[in-house]
Amino acid sequence: MHFQFLLSLLTLTSVLGLSVPSPDQLSRRETLEEAAHNARVLVKDVKTGTLASVFPNMTDLAGRPFAMMEYHAPCYSNGSLTLILMPISRSTQNIFQNPGHHAAYTVSMPTEGVRSPMSRGRVALMGNVTTLRDISSSQSEELAQCYTIYHPDSKYWLPGNDNSPHTSYWARLDIDRIYYVGGFGDIHYIGAIPVDLYAKSENGVQQGYEVKEKDDSEFLRIQNDLNDQVTF
């Protein structure tokens, strides 16, 4: 397991901030490379998100979406997220009762006190979830150390905690599609972010990144899905 314990980056993050200045300081649009880094900073700075899943085919609500607030911790340098999942939760049941274990996780900038919350950044990370049941106690301890930096209150329900009110498991969301809305499109990037760019954008804006053929078609496909296939 390529696990990275990223204590020092927490400090770095607050210093880095987002790569794009506020709208009134800005005369150019957020680039794809900046968007990838800004999305990483967003997922690090904002500690809760919304986990979306789909009801499995054996339920009354088969195929219908479900979304609920969840905690995440950005414990992997490539952007995969650490989650604590409880079998009792509807999200967990939906994810693991569906083949592929797909989920989407979205994180948004806080909007309190902001005149137009639509101007704030948000990102949707799509992928699949794997439970980490066979990890060593030292790996589990590393996860616990990372996760509790972001969520000190979670110490009461960490996997393996005998006093926890519910059974819980470490899990990892691996990302295979990303859709980002930086804010208003005149100055912010809106669209797909290639996963490989996201994976290496934790510590800074990647210069000279070229969208590869494959990523470009993915980019266009997601945008077309969202723009053209929606009829009102």
Ligand X SMILES: *[C@@H]1O[C@H](CO)[C@@H](O)[C@H](O)[C@H]1NC(C)=O
Binding site for ligand X (CB under 6 A): 1-2, 57, 76, 78, 80, 99-101, 128, 130, 174-176, 195, 199
* Shortest Å, Cβ 102 to ligand X: 8
Q: Residue 82 Cβ, how far from ligand X at the closest point, in Å?
A: 10
Cα gap 32→20, rounded to integer Å: 12
Nearer to ligand X, 62 or 226 (CB): 62
- Report the half-sphere exposure of 157 (CA within 13 A, side-chain side): 15
Between 128 and 140, CB nearer to ligand X: 128
How far is it, in rounded angstroms, from Cα 185 to Cα 67?
A: 26
- Name the residue nearer to ligand X (CB basis): 6 or 20: 6
Least distance in angstroms from the C-beta of 40 to ligand X:
12
Shortest distance in whole angstroms from residue 79 CB to ligand X: 6
Q: Minimum distance from CB of 90 to ligand X (Å)?
A: 18
* CA 109 remoteness from chain centre: 12
Q: Which is nearer to ligand X, 2 or 28 (CB)?
A: 2
The residue among 172 and 188 lying less far from ligand X, judged by its C-beta, is: 172
95 close to 102: Cβ distance less than 8 angstroms: yes
User: Would you call 53 helix, strand, or coil by DSSP?
Assistant: strand
Tell me the CA distances in angstroms from 116 to 2, 22, 27, 111, 184, one per residue in order. Answer: 40, 13, 19, 8, 10
Distance, CA of 15 to CA of 18 (rounded, Å): 9
Structure tokens at 92: 């967990």
